[in-house]
């Protein structure tokens, strides 16, 4: 009796495995068949699609698309190819028309499903195709978000690409939001809206967005905001002051270099370091005595930045040679010698 039960169980398991294998084989065959058909249709549509995108015989492509299977998959694939190859193509009227006509419905359905991976991929497509009609749905989803996970961050990026500045307002719920997310959002907005949001950030006391706005000014090289950045050097918040110094260093420009003077004596070594770097890249002669003093700073990075700063001056190598022999501080002499060696092509 027991032997019969064991044999029955073994046979049942074998049968189940055979059924599962058959199911997987059929599924793979169907997927391969579908993929081949999609690729065939894609290649057959390329010529008429290209003509449509350049405004020639546009009815031909539409007529073909209306009659085929896998319509949304093919339109998505064709538009992805187009926006990848053609610079600034996402601003094309044809891209917007096709995506809104054939993809807004499927994308709306996907965004309401529980498939996380498909939702995130769809958000990328919406951003690429600039599908403004889906902004209300995305904003609704963002307002319901309880944590700033990968999907929530992509929601914010996608909304920013659609010029929805309210996405930045939603970020205020997350004080620990990464600066990269703010920078990505600023870069996706139209230039005019970006500048308006930066102005708003300076007017507020929310540190994360103000610090990010200052950083973006440096990466985007928005020289018109330099007076705002210099004003923030007086901030009581160390993070804001340091970010302002970083941005001025990136821009290699200041309207009023005199505001840099206090930072050579700062209690914060990062501020002293950036003061030295700025004085160097801007070749601010008036601060040479300050740089000389920083050569003997207790922090290695500050000494290094002071020596590097001298290297930007026309007489910098001569001064470093003098300091390597005559500076009263041993660490300053060592650092000057290191930079002389570096300048001559040796190893420090």
pLDDT in tens, 36-64: 767 777 888 888 888 888 887 788 888 88
Could you tell me the pLDDT band of residue 348, with boundaries at 50, 70 and 90?
very low
State mean pLDDT over 299-321: 94
State mean pLDDT over 84-113: 84
Structure tokens at 123: 């958000």
Q: Which of the pair, 339 or 12, is modelled with greater confidence? A: 339
Across the chain, mean pLDDT equals 88
Give tens-digit pLDDT for 115-132.
Answer: 999 999 999 999 999 999
Give tens-digit pLDDT for 255-295.
Answer: 999 999 999 999 999 999 999 999 999 999 999 999 999 99
* Backbone phi and psi for residue 316, each to the nearest 5 degrees, phi listed first: -60, -45
* Ranges of each domain in the chain: 67-85+93-137+146-158
Give exposure, 88-105, as e/b (b: 16+ Cβ within 10 Å).
ebbebebbbebbbebbbe
Give tens-digit pLDDT for 23-42.
Answer: 555 555 444 455 776 777 78
Give tens-digit pLDDT for 144-186.
Answer: 888 999 999 999 999 999 999 999 988 888 889 999 999 999 9
């Amino acid at each position: 009796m027991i032997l019969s039960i064991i044999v029955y169980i073994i046979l049942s398991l074998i049968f189940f495995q055979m059924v599962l294998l058959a199911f997987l084989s059929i599924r793979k065959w169907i997927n391969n068949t579908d993929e081949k058909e999609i690729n065939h249709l894609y290649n057959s549509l390329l010529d008429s699609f290209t003509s449509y995108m350049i405004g020639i015989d546009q009815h031909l492509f539409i007529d073909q698309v209306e009659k085929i299977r896998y319509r949304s998959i093919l339109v998505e694939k064709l538009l992805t190819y187009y926006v990848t190859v053609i610079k600034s193509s996402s601003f094309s009227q044809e891209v917007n028309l096709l995506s809104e006509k054939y993809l807004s419905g499927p994308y709306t359905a996907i965004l309401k499903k529980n498939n996380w991976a498909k939702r995130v991929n769809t958000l990328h497509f919406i951003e690429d195709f600039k599908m403004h009609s889906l902004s209300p749905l995305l904003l609704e989803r963002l307002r319901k978000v309880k944590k700033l996970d990968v999907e929530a961050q992509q929601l914010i990026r996608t909304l920013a690409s659609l010029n929805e500045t309210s996405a930045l307002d939603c970020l205020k719920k997350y004080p620990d939001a990464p600066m990269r997310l703010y920078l990505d959002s600023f870069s996706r907005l139209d230039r005019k809206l970006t500048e308006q949001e930066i102005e708003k950030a300076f007017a507020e006391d929310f540190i994360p967005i103000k610090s990010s706005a200052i950083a973006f000014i440096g990466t985007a090289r928005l020289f018109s905001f330099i007076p705002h950045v210099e004003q923030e050097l007086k901030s009581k918040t160390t993070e804001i002051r340091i970010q302002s110094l970083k941005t001025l260093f990136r821009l290699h420009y200041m309207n009023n270099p005199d505001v840099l003077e206090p930072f050579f004596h700062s209690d914060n070594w990062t501020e002293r370091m950036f003061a030295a770097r700025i004085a160097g890249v801007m070749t601010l002669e008036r601060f040479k005595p300050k740089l000389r003093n920083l050569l003997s700073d207790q922090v290695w990075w500050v000494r290094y930045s002071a020596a590097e700063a001298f290297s930007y001056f026309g007489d910098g190598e001569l001064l470093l040679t003098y300091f390597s022999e005559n500076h009263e501080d041993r660490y300053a002499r060592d650092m000057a010698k290191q930079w002389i060696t570096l300048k001559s092509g040796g190893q420090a």
